[in-house]
Chains A and B, each alone.
Chain A
Amino acid sequence: MDFEQSPDRIRGTARVGDERPKKAPVPVKIIVAGGFGVGKTTTVGAISEIAPLTTEAEMTSASVGIDDPGQAVTKTTTTIAMDFGVLTIDQTLKLYIFGTPGQPRFAFMWDDLIKGALGALVVVDTNRIDDCYPAVDYFERAGLPFVVGVNTFNGQMNYNLEEVRWALAVRDDVPVLSFDARFRASVRDALLVVLDQALDKAIRAKST
């Protein structure tokens, strides 16, 4: 660990005379969830203004086979904590995008994570559609607005969106769309759909 700040800078006393500390921005957040290796980190990285920050631990040998990387066999480590990015909307508003593991054994983290969240993007790989079931189940039960985004890795999809919708059996008002996690504009558009859902919910909540 790197804690080598010199003693006189400790506690910010050396900053006396600085301008008043800036008012802290209001943080809002969107969750990016999905199975192992579906491109959550890529999604976060595409939209974030900073390189995604990660609390990462290498996948232990115990999770080999549990996580089943499927086609993405070249991936040797996985994010078992989470990675996130930041997008400064303006001086007083910051959007955080948290990528979170979709496996049910991490569900204990989700209660904390979705508190105050605007909504979620569930990333789906059509090769392994069932990987996203835990996330879909969870967000449905939690009443968090969410959107299903099929990541078109190589521009290819094994199933069309209607088939994905059928497989997931999500409500009619849950959008199912395709996007490419590698491209900023594509991720932006997917997040805008999430925000539309969030706005609908917030307006409904306000009018009741």
Chain B
Amino acid sequence: MTYPDPDDPARPARPSVRPFLQSGPHAAGGYRPSPGVESPADEQTTTLRPFVITSGRTDGADPEIGMETQVTVVHAAVPMRLSPEMRAIVALCGEPLSVAEISARLRLHLGVTRILVGDLRAAGQLDVHVLDNDTPDPETIMRVIRGLRAIT
């Protein structure tokens, strides 16, 4: 197998690819897509990657699961084999935690987190505390106002 000489001025310029990819499998295999098809390939590596851990699902997150939705672990859950990401989520949720906080703390894409939390809920590993009504009632708002006034 011959590798292209990176210093060879005759090499075609491939401006849209990060440098280390230029010496990657494409170059080694002699496969050189035209510059026109280069950018979608590059985009794929940056945008789709997180969803590998959701088995490719980018949507299908439960609409009930919002960013502020509180999640807790089910202590009586039947032990089961979980992916490292799922284990990390379960380990965090000993105390009630919001989906957004899970996403931030594990540095997991928010969309990915919502999907995984939905899966863990379906598997009986997590309690997802969905609110009964979507619209905030005056009582709750009054409590927030009083609480906010109290801070200095």
Residues of A within 8 A of B (CB): 1-3, 5, 9-13, 15-16, 18, 21-29, 53-55, 81, 84, 86-87, 89-90, 93-96, 98, 112-113, 115-116, 118, 184-185, 188, 191-192, 195-196, 198-199, 202-203, 205-206
- Whether B116 is near chain A, meaning CB under 8 Å from some CB there, is no
Q: Is B7 an interface residue (CB 8 A)?
A: no
Interface size class of B (residues with CB under 8 A): 35 or more
Contact of A198 among B72, B85, B94, B136 (CB under 8 A): B136
10 A-B pairs with CB atoms under 8 Å apart are: A16-B75, A21-B72, A84-B67, A87-B148, A89-B143, A90-B143, A90-B147, A98-B68, A199-B141, A206-B137
Q: Given the complex of chains A and B, what is the CA–CA distance between A16 and B73 in angstroms?
A: 12
Given A16-B75, A118-B136, decide whether A96 and B98 contact each other with a Cβ distance below 8 A. Answer: yes
Smallest CB separation, A129 vs chain B (Å): 27
B140 touches A10 (CB 8 A): no
Which 8 pairs, one residue from A and one from B, show the smallest C-beta to C-beta distance?
A89-B147, A53-B104, A24-B70, A27-B68, A24-B96, A24-B129, A3-B84, A3-B88
Q: Is the interface of B mostly helix, strand, loop or mixed?
A: mixed
Q: Are B87 and A11 in contact (CB under 8 A)?
A: yes
Among candidates B105, B136, B152, residue contacting A202 with C-beta atoms closer than 8 Å: B136
- Kindly identify which residue among A5, A18, A55, A113 contacts B87, using a CB–CB cutoff of 8 Å: A5
In the complex, A90 Cα to B149 Cα: how many Å? 13
CB of A179, distance to nearest CB on chain B (Å): 14
Contact of B147 among A87, A96, A184 (CB under 8 A): A87
Q: Which of B101, B138, B142, B151 has the largest count of A CB atoms less than 10 A from its CB?
A: B138
* Cα separation A54 to B94 with both chains bound (whole Å): 22
CB neighbours (8 Å) of B75 from chain A are: 12, 15-16, 18, 21
Q: Smallest Cβ distance from A32 to chain B, in angstroms? A: 14
| Complex CA–CA separation, A3 to B102 (angstroms) | 13
Residues A10 and B91 in contact in the complex (CB < 8 Å), given A25-B70, A53-B104:
yes
Q: What's the minimum C-beta distance from A175 to chain B, rounded to whole angstroms?
A: 15
